[in-house]
């Protein structure tokens, strides 16, 4: 896909792999919409991109740990744009960020489930009219190889909480949603795929978690860019990739009943009526 003139929203794009992807797409002539919580980081990224001689991206500040903040982001993007060629759901919290204790979002949901999964779920639904208007268009969910089956009797992990499990559960939820949404969008010209970009990239999130990086941001960025613009994945949907290769997710992702159960719960938690 030629990205010149294409409008792309990337959540969590003021740092790490999202920042790399934003800069690359801006260099290719895309109309990049960047998102983050920190306005100063957003301004710094805009300055870097314009200094390189490219069009200034539009920055949207929003806290995706609250449904109100997520809805605010969707409303702002919808007010400013009539179409969205690509939506990249990249914002997230790592398995060790914020300490070992269980934390909740502004809405009372387990924090990693809220930020890593539910915010992207809500944004995709709210932005879908813009994405459909740009068809053929793409949705890319940045997930992980770290996956843990969802316990529907304790989705918010109120018992025996573990940050690693919370992170892995939220990432499997992303993958299940990807497959589910891809099925719903068959015939619309919108594809939905997800990926594990690279293992422990050299990002702030990884370093803050006390983990020694194993991969570069560039490696992960190239994998994400492939799903955004690669001609070889055009028309392919509902897939999970490990880097550049197609992969198998946790078996629960293939369970249609589990996906339906997650969809019903997510619509309820996000306050969406279809």
Q: Which residues are catalytic?
A: 167
End-to-end CA distance of the chain: 31
CA separation for the pair 85, 47 (Å, rounded): 24
The tokens describing 74, both together, are 């969707």
Q: How many CB atoms lie within 10 A of CB 21?
A: 28
Rounded CA separation 212/217 (Å): 13
The residue assigned the tokens 């589990």 is 258
Residues whose CB is less than 8 angstroms from the CB of residue 90 and which lie 6 or more positions away in sequence, other chains included: 10, 11, 12, 13, 17, 18, 21, 142, 224
Closest C-alpha among 190, 22, 7 to residue 91:
22
CB-based burial, 63-97: b 16+ in 10 Å, e otherwise = bbbbbebbbbbbebbeeebeebbbbbbbbbbbbbb
| Closest of 176, 191, 172, 45 to residue 128, by C-alpha | 191
- 158 secondary structure, DSSP code: -
């Amino acid at each position: 896909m030629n990205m010149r003139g294409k409008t792309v929203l990337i959540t969590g794009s003021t740092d790490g792999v999202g920042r790399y992807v934003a800069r690359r797409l801006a260099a290719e002539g895309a109309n990049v919409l960047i998102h983050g919580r920190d306005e100063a980081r957003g301004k710094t990224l805009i300055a870097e991109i314009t200094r390189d001689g490219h069009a200034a991206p539009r920055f949207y500040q929003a806290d995706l740990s609250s449904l109100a903040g997520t809805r605010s982001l969707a409303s702002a993007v919808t007010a400013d744009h009539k179409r969205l060629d690509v939506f990249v759901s990249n914002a997230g919290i790592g398995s060790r960020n914020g300490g070992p204790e269980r934390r909740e979002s502004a809405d009372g949901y387990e924090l990693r489930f809220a930020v890593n999964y539910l915010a992207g779920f809500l944004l995709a639904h709210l932005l879908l009219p813009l994405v459909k208007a740009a068809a053929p268009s793409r949705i890319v969910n940045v997930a992980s190889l770290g996956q843990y089956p969802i316990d529907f009797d304790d989705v918010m992990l109120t018992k025996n909480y573990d940050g690693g499990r919370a992170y892995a559960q939220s990432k499997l939820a992303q993958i299940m949603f990807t497959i589910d949404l891809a099925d719903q969008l068959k015939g619309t010209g919108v594809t939905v795929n997800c990926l594990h970009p690279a293992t422990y990239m050299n990002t702030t999130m990884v370093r803050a978690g006390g983990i020694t990086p194993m991969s570069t941001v560039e490696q992960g960025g190239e994998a994400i860019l492939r799903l955004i613009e690669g001609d070889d994945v055009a028309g392919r949907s509902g897939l999970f990739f490990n880097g550049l290769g197609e992969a198998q997710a946790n078996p629960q992702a293939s369970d249609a009943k589990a996906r339906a159960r997650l969809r019903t719960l997510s619509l309820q938690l996000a306050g969406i009526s279809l």
